[in-house]
Amino acid sequence: MHIIVPVVALQAGEVEAVAVVDIVAGLAGTGAENKHRQDECGAACIKQAAFHTWVPPGSKRPSIPSVPGAGKGRREKATPAGLASGHRRRQSGPIIRHRLIVTITVKDCTAPEATWVFGYGSLIYKVDFPFLQREVASIDGWQRRFWQGSHDHRGTPDSPGRVVTLTPARGALCQGVAYRVENSVFAHLDHREKNGYQRAPVSITLAASGATVEGVVYYAAPGNPAFLGEAPLPDMARHIAASAGPSGSNRDYLNQLARALQGLGARDEHVFELNRLVDAIE
């Protein structure tokens, strides 16, 4: 079946147009409805075309409006770009022309832009944002360390807590979770990670498939105003045990992170040793 619709620019919504249909006689009259689906999308996408108002052979055919770009005689090459591409008419009998009214439901199918985000701290267990996909994942060349101060979540401006950031380390592997999110989600994530964190591009390895995807990670670089830096583990443990902020105790942050990493089967002696030391403090 060859369809010609005199609609060149399709917008979101429903469009009703006249279509000229050449049907092999042996196939005519098989039904009053048909569906046409198109896989390829551009700025707008034809989701469904429902054909109705069938005019059978022998009936007086109403006048058919001219189709832009159509030649004389059989109008078989005047299809809008993309509408009938890939369709070839197989002629096995006399051609009968019919008039149909075509109602086309047009949907804007521009894919939402999405980005992979790698989570290695509270993003693993506190997921307060929508996501399209979640995968256990890892990044190479980075290690997780409790070197960043928290003035807004697990501490106060006068007494900041300690939370994780990333530091580069040759041969290191940081395990966590990757989320594919629509770019609109970054307004929320940027606010959540506002205290000294910045986005950086990173290659992420998805554990299930072994595929590498490009994404971003939030990390707090040395020199940012909230950076606390390295300290002996016992000192950091006492600091964490004594700190709390609007989002809860610093101890709870560490405990939840350690449990989440264990649930992923991840190995991180820095986190696990700190957790053991803090648990030993009354």
Residues 183-212: pLDDT tens digits? 999 999 999 999 999 999 999 999 999 999
Q: What is the mean pLDDT of the chain?
A: 75
Hey, where are the domains in the chain? Answer: 2-107, 114-279
What pLDDT, on the 0 to 100 scale, is given for residue 101?
Answer: 52
The answer to whether domain 114-279 has CATH 3.10.490.10 is yes
What pLDDT, on the 0 to 100 scale, is given for residue 279?
Answer: 97
pTM equals 0.62
Q: Does 62 score more than 50 pLDDT?
A: no
What pLDDT, on the 0 to 100 scale, is given for residue 269?
Answer: 97
What pLDDT, on the 0 to 100 scale, is given for residue 53?
Answer: 37
Mean pLDDT, residues 228-241: 98
Percent of the chain residues past pLDDT 70, beyond the cut: 60
Q: Which of 14, 16, 33, 193 is catalytic?
A: 193
Q: Does 216 score more than 50 pLDDT?
A: yes
What pLDDT, on the 0 to 100 scale, is given for residue 103?
Answer: 52
DSSP string, 178-209: EEEEEGGGHHHHHHHTTTT-EEEEEEEEETTT
What pLDDT, on the 0 to 100 scale, is given for residue 245?
Answer: 96
What pLDDT, on the 0 to 100 scale, is given for residue 184?
Answer: 96
Among 18-32, 95-109, 195-209, 235-249, the minimum mean pLDDT is found in: 18-32
Mean pLDDT, residues 59-77: 43
Distance CA 22, CA 74 (A): 8
Q: What is the pLDDT of residues 88-142, one digit of tens each?
A: 444 445 544 445 554 544 444 444 589 999 999 999 999 999 999 999 999 999 9
Q: Does 248 score more than 80 pLDDT?
A: yes
- 182 is annotated as an active-site residue: no
Q: What three-state secondary structure class fits 123?
A: helix
What pLDDT, on the 0 to 100 scale, is given for residue 230?
Answer: 97
DSSP string, 204-259: EEETTT--EEEEEEEE--TTSTTB-----HHHHHHHHHH-EETTEEHHHHHHHHHH
The letter for the amino acid at 161 is: G
